[in-house]
Chain A
Amino acid sequence: MKQDNSIYLRRYIYSFFIATFLFILVFAIADSFTHISYERNARESEVIRSYITDLNGYFKEQSCSDQLIFDASLKLDNVGNRIDLLEKRFGKSDQRVVTQKKQYAELQHTHYLIIQRLNKYCGAKFITVLYFYTQAKEESDANEQASFILNAFKQESPERIMIYAFDSSIGSGIVGNLKTWYNITSTPSVLVNQENKIDKLTHISQLDPFLKEVR
């Protein structure tokens, strides 16, 4: 016995519209949450800017107090996390992400200068690590491994080891200047305490000699 599909045709059409509506609604809700997150991050950008001002003021005062720099380090990490989330939602080439990363590079640079000053004039023993990378696909495995190692290295003394990651592909003037200044010609590249360049970071033991300074 054959069945007549035409009696179900209207139901098929309704189902198509309901399913499509729900499907689009889900994306719309997800997009709304993404937008809320972006707005939140955009507000945070204002905080970043004011922090840059604070840090610059701090830099000018030539204070040897550690407290502000610890707070700044913490904030720096949080900003990094937020940009990471944004990048996941919008993609690495999204203009909003690139803009935030440029600001982030600026903030890191300021922080880095203060740490250098503390080391030089206050006898502090911060280890600084500059990490230069790009978004190139062929670098992804090396980046992943280097990042993992640097992360573990940071945990050896989170308050004394300062890691600054710079994305060379965002066209930031600050990143370009740093690369020129330290003669960084390839990526990924790691520079420890301004003068020790490691082009291929594959094992944490390559960083162990620097731990003596913080222990």
Chain B
Amino acid sequence: MSISTFLKEKNCQGRESEILNFYHILTYILVYLGLFATSFYLLSLFSYYRKPRKTTDKKFSVSIIVPAFNEEKTISKTLQSLLELDYPKDRMEIIVVDDGSTDSTYSQAKRFESNIVRVIRKDNGGKGSALNAGIKVAKGELIASMDADSFVQKDALKKMVALFYNDSVMSVAPSVGIIEPKGILRRIQHIEYAMGVFLRKSFSTLNAIHVTPGAFSLYRKIFFDKYGGYDEHNITEDLEIALRIQSKGYVIENAEDAVAYTRGPRYFRELMIQRRRWYTGLARNLWRYKSLFGPSRGPLGTLVLPAAVIAIVLPMILVIYQVIKNLDDIRRNIILLQSIDFRFKDLWEYNSYIFEQIILSSLSYPLFLMSLLFLALLAGYLIFAKRITGFKERWQLNFVLFFLLYYFLFVFWWIVSTAYLIFNKKVIWRKEKHEAG
């Protein structure tokens, strides 16, 4: 380290101090809101677990609808897992709706046909229309929707049905995990879903669940009879139905110990298409159900939904700023390196200084300590998820990958989705499923 490096560092800091203040203020706002929301969720969870759990012993009749479009690789496993469910077989039926598949999905599903399993075929119309076709012929008091690339734990249905303890409970969502979380993107999704276990349970204690997972969710049939089926033009029908249930003032429960597993996209492009659909769907549906914002809707309107919006907007601003700043730093460094004819002899010395600086000063920076605090909270969420659901996967590496990469991916997906929204580009459900194969 030489004296001039000392100068250089100092001067850089001085030049950017005003922008950094803006950056820091936004970050502190985000951190404070994060702490506030997390405290609220934790208090709600503690309060929930202190009281006896409300359940019913009634064995409702259940119709499980499996919409399928070109799912020949997974449909057999999905049906097998449903047939193995620990639930009275005379109280359940499985309806596979082949939504105009062009592969062998229909014939594969047909092999399972019995007094429990029915297979119907229709022209391609999207997931919502396939679910509606199933609801139309369903006989059960409860309707379960299940993705054809997912499977459930044996006792999941039993645990979920037990939560329809009164007439206001209109839906029950399970916990969702990722099948075989291998590869960087699936590992990141594994942590994201595990975090979702904690959040969904917290939201359920506040009646603030706003998404019922497409992988496996239960609804009272009476709701569809009264308020219509799935919105067939909606690209995130599972989100829309949950918001509709909330808007009608009903309750969505969560059986955190009932686990459904889904197959997370493996490749970046697949994941991008999925997230683009989810996020444009989320934005459109939140706008459609904007009446859910506000004090009249309890914690859903005053905290959960506003916090979700803030947790999208602020990181977007911060990450965009950070990326622009980094690009500007690269540009400036190139100019500086030009002024020394790219004599890289200096670089090692510079890096050793940075290392020393990190060791000596990190703990003095509030933002670094706040990152540690959130890391600890995240670890707490994961321990909760592991304990409740019995997830077997090791999560240490996934945790590190998530912490390092998630927010950049999250913001990237949101930027793309926002562009789609602004330019009013069409996002469809089928394309993603088809490509995700």
State whether these chains interact: yes
Listed in ascending order, the chain A residues whose CB lies under 8 Å from chain B are: 1-5, 8, 11-12, 14-16, 18-19, 22-23, 26-27, 29-30, 33-34, 37, 76-78, 80-81, 83-85, 87-89, 92, 108, 131, 133, 135, 137, 140-141, 143-145, 147-156, 158, 163-165, 202-205
Asked whether A140 and B11 contact (CB < 8 A) given A15-B39, A156-B345, the answer is yes
Do A204 and B373 have beta carbons less than 8 Å apart?
Answer: no
- Please indicate the chain B residues that have their CB under 8 angstroms from the CB of A84 in the complex: 6, 9-10
Do A26 and B370 have beta carbons less than 8 Å apart?
Answer: yes
CB-based nearest A residue for B37:
A15
Do A3 and B1 have beta carbons less than 8 Å apart?
Answer: no
Listed in ascending order, the chain B residues whose CB lies under 8 Å from chain A are: 1-15, 28, 31-32, 35-40, 43-44, 47, 206-207, 248-250, 295-300, 302, 332, 335-336, 339-341, 343, 345-346, 349-350, 353, 356-357, 360-361, 363-366, 368-370, 373
- The majority secondary structure among interface residues of chain B is helix
Cα of A145 to Cα of B335 in the assembled complex, Å: 9
- Please indicate the chain A residues that have their CB under 8 angstroms from the CB of B369 in the complex: 26, 29-30
Asked whether A89 and B336 contact (CB < 8 A) given A140-B15, A151-B346, A163-B2, the answer is no
Do B4 and A148 have beta carbons less than 8 Å apart?
Answer: yes
Cα of A135 to Cα of B13 in the assembled complex, Å: 11
Do B345 and A8 have beta carbons less than 8 Å apart?
Answer: no
Q: How far is the CB of A74 from chain B (nearest CB, A)?
A: 9
CB-based nearest B residue for A8:
B299
Cα of A118 to Cα of B35 in the assembled complex, Å: 60
Cα of A147 to Cα of B38 in the assembled complex, Å: 45
Asked whether A88 and B13 contact (CB < 8 A) given A144-B8, A155-B343, the answer is yes
- Please indicate the chain A residues that have their CB under 8 angstroms from the CB of B343 in the complex: 152, 155-156, 204
Do A1 and B339 have beta carbons less than 8 Å apart?
Answer: no
Do A77 and B15 have beta carbons less than 8 Å apart?
Answer: no
Do A155 and B360 have beta carbons less than 8 Å apart?
Answer: no
- Please indicate the chain B residues that have their CB under 8 angstroms from the CB of A92 in the complex: 10, 14
Asked whether A81 and B365 contact (CB < 8 A) given A2-B297, A144-B11, the answer is no
- Please indicate the chain A residues that have their CB under 8 angstroms from the CB of B364 in the complex: 30, 33-34, 37, 89
Q: How far is the CB of B20 from chain A (nearest CB, A)?
A: 11
Q: How far is the CB of B304 from chain A (nearest CB, A)?
A: 11
Q: How far is the CB of B349 from chain A (nearest CB, A)?
A: 6
Q: How far is the CB of B10 from chain A (nearest CB, A)?
A: 6
Q: How far is the CB of A130 from chain B (nearest CB, A)?
A: 11
- The majority secondary structure among interface residues of chain A is helix
- Please indicate the chain B residues that have their CB under 8 angstroms from the CB of A108 in the complex: 3
CB-based nearest B residue for A144:
B11
CB-based nearest B residue for A76:
B3
Asked whether A19 and B360 contact (CB < 8 A) given A80-B1, A148-B4, A204-B341, the answer is no
Q: How far is the CB of B46 from chain A (nearest CB, A)?
A: 10
Other A-B pairs, 9, CB within 8 Å; known A19-B36, A135-B14: A12-B40, A30-B365, A30-B368, A78-B1, A133-B7, A145-B335, A148-B336, A154-B4, A158-B2
- Please indicate the chain B residues that have their CB under 8 angstroms from the CB of A87 in the complex: 10
Asked whether A147 and B341 contact (CB < 8 A) given A19-B32, A37-B364, the answer is no
Cα of A2 to Cα of B47 in the assembled complex, Å: 22
- Please indicate the chain B residues that have their CB under 8 angstroms from the CB of A37 in the complex: 360-361, 364
Q: How far is the CB of A15 from chain B (nearest CB, A)?
A: 4
Do B6 and A144 have beta carbons less than 8 Å apart?
Answer: no
Cα of A164 to Cα of B7 in the assembled complex, Å: 10
- Please indicate the chain B residues that have their CB under 8 angstroms from the CB of A4 in the complex: 298
Q: How far is the CB of A162 from chain B (nearest CB, A)?
A: 9
Q: How far is the CB of B27 from chain A (nearest CB, A)?
A: 12
